[in-house]
């Protein structure tokens, strides 16, 4: 809640120990905002009790111990999207963050080209990070606060199950407008021949209701801090030496009819990543030795 969640920014969350109840959601939408893919939500429990007797979940749902996006989950998701687009006779380009959970090579894609953003540029070049994710959080947290107020009014205990969260996330995602998505792409530098409506990154119509609801609870936290309270939490797996070696071996096993120059370049990049990862690990161990 707004008056209790500031600790997320001041306390480390290694492996989700501080924040035990957490979900990670991945969003994807096209440049015009006319098509939003269903959310992929990651939780910690594969079969929560609230899923009992539920035939269809509100969103896609996967689970691992830390509720993190992993390379395995991402590959499966990309292949599902690719199969869907292939059946529809479409060709798409997926603009992707450059992080360990997003593998560079995914074989046997028929309708999808992977386009990776430059390293350390997500806050500037990633369209979803220009306001789409924040807008989704505003709509979601508005439902959380409203649910809390309803529980107080009815003298009932306040709780949100994983199923409740999935339902609220799906509804929040449906409330993100195409105008918001188009302008976020524009802010990230993506241009189109289509006209784009002018709109600020922060939609006042979204923030005002959330402010009004939170004021009922007497919160002392600003709504901007509340909406962005979990921005610093880790949401993807950390890459290991074994992961890099696996990618390296996979790159070397590319079919002979592929572009040899691209294969060599990819292999060199993976070798550099492996060496850099080992150096960073040694630095971390050395720092820990100096400051136990």
- The residue with greater pLDDT, 177 or 240, is 177
Structure tokens given for 83: 């199969």
**Sequence-distant (≥ 6) Cβ neighbours of residue 240 within 8 angstroms:** 277
Confidence of residue 198 (pLDDT cuts 50, 70, 90): very low
Determine contact, residues 60/52, Cβ cutoff 8 Å: no
Q: Please state which of the ranges 65-69, 70-74, 195-199 shows the lowest mean pLDDT.
A: 195-199
- The residue with greater pLDDT, 155 or 11, is 155
Res. 45: pLDDT tops 70: yes
Indicate the average pLDDT of the chain. Answer: 76
Question: So what's the pLDDT on residue 119?
Answer: 81
Q: Please state which of the ranges 110-119, 121-130, 175-184 shows the lowest mean pLDDT.
A: 121-130
Res. 209: pLDDT tops 70: no
The predicted-structure confidence for 163-192, as pLDDT tens digits, reads as follows 999 999 999 999 999 999 999 999 988 877
Whole-angstrom Cα Rg for the chain: 21
Burial pattern 19-34, b for ≥16 Cβ within 10 A else e, equals eeebbbbbbbbebebe
- In the beta sheet, which residues pair with residue 95? 115
Confidence of residue 18 (pLDDT cuts 50, 70, 90): very low
Confidence of residue 268 (pLDDT cuts 50, 70, 90): low
Determine contact, residues 228/134, Cβ cutoff 8 Å: yes
What order of strands is seen across the sheet that includes strand 24-26? 24-26, 40-43, 60-63
* Maximum separation of any 2 CA atoms in the chain, in Å: 68
**Sequence-distant (≥ 6) Cβ neighbours of residue 179 within 8 angstroms:** 33, 197, 199
Torsion angle of alpha carbons 279, 271, 111, 59, nearest 10°? -20
Question: So what's the pLDDT on residue 73?
Answer: 93
**Terminal C-alpha separation, the chain:** 34
- The residue with greater pLDDT, 285 or 39, is 39
% of the chain with per-residue pLDDT over 70: 60
Q: Please state which of the ranges 59-68, 82-91, 252-261 shows the lowest mean pLDDT.
A: 252-261
């Amino acid at each position: 809640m707004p008056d209790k969640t500031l600790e997320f920014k001041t306390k480390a969350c290694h492996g989700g120990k501080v924040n035990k109840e957490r979900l990670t959601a991945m969003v994807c939408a096209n440049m015009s905002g006319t098509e939003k893919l269903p959310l992929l939500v990651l939780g910690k429990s594969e079969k929560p009790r609230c899923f009992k007797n539920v035939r269809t979940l509100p969103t896609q749902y996967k689970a691992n111990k830390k509720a993190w996006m992993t390379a395995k989950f991402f590959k499966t998701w990309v292949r599902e999207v690719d199969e869907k687009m292939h059946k529809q006779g479409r060709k798409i380009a997926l603009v992707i963050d450059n992080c360990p959970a997003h593998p560079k090579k995914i074989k046997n894609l028929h309708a999808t080209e992977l386009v990776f953003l430059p390293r350390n540029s997500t806050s500037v070049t990633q369209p979803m990070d220009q306001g789409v994710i924040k807008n989704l959080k505003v709509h979601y947290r508005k439902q959380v606060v409203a649910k809390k107020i309803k529980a107080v009014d009815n003298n009932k205990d306040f709780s949100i199950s994983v199923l409740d969260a999935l339902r609220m996330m799906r509804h929040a995602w449906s409330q993100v407008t195409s105008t918001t998505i188009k302008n976020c792409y524009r802010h990230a530098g993506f241009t189109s021949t289509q006209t784009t409506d002018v709109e600020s990154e922060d939609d006042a119509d979204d923030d005002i209701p959330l402010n009004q609801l939170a004021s009922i609870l007497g919160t002392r936290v600003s709504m901007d801090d509340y909406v962005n309270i979990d921005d610093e939490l880790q949401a993807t797996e950390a890459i290991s030496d074994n992961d890099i070696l696996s990618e390296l071996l996979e790159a070397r096993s590319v079919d002979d009819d592929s572009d040899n120059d691209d294969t060599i370049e990819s292999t060199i990049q993976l070798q550099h990543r492996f060496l850099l990862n080992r150096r960073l690990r040694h630095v971390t161990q050395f720092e820990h030795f100096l400051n136990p």
